[in-house]
Amino acid sequence: MGEFIWYWGSKILSMSALNSVIQSGKLHLIRNPELRQLLAGWPEDFEELRLFEMQDRSVWDREFLPYLRKHSYLAQLSSASDHFPGSSIPPP
């Protein structure tokens, strides 16, 4: 539970290299048609994922976190974690 309290969000990915390839019209240089099609659709897929994540964050902020604040002790929840916040890696 502690991981959810202290961490939110996907890693910030840079789309600049892919956007550069798409906008320059050089996507055709990728010979694998399946890969080329997947890369061409990546910006839209990424945006859809970002919107879902924003919705989830909104529900978390509006509903879940206020409930936890009212009915639990957040510091204790965080201390109960056996991993670093936001990861599956246990502390040394």
pLDDT tens-digit profile of 50-72?
A: 888 888 888 888 998 888 888 87
Confidence (pLDDT) at 11: 53
Residue 49 lies in a domain: yes
Confidence (pLDDT) at 17: 83
Residue 92 lies in a domain: no
**Can you read off the two tokens belonging to residue 82?**
């056996």
Cα separation, 12 vs 27, whole angstroms: 23
Residue 24 lies in a domain: yes
Number of domains comprising the chain: 1
Cα separation, 60 vs 57, whole angstroms: 5
Confidence (pLDDT) at 9: 55
Residue 87 lies in a domain: no
Residue 27 lies in a domain: yes
Confidence (pLDDT) at 2: 47
Confidence (pLDDT) at 53: 83
Residue 54 lies in a domain: yes
Cα separation, 32 vs 28, whole angstroms: 9
Confidence (pLDDT) at 77: 65
Say if CB 7 and CB 86 are below 8 A apart. Answer: yes
List of the chain residues with pLDDT < 70? 1-14, 74-92
Range of the domain at 12: 2-79
Cα separation, 72 vs 66, whole angstroms: 10
**Can you read off the two tokens belonging to residue 87?**
């990861």
Residue 89 lies in a domain: no
**Within a 10 A sphere around the Cβ of 7, how many other Cβ atoms?**
11
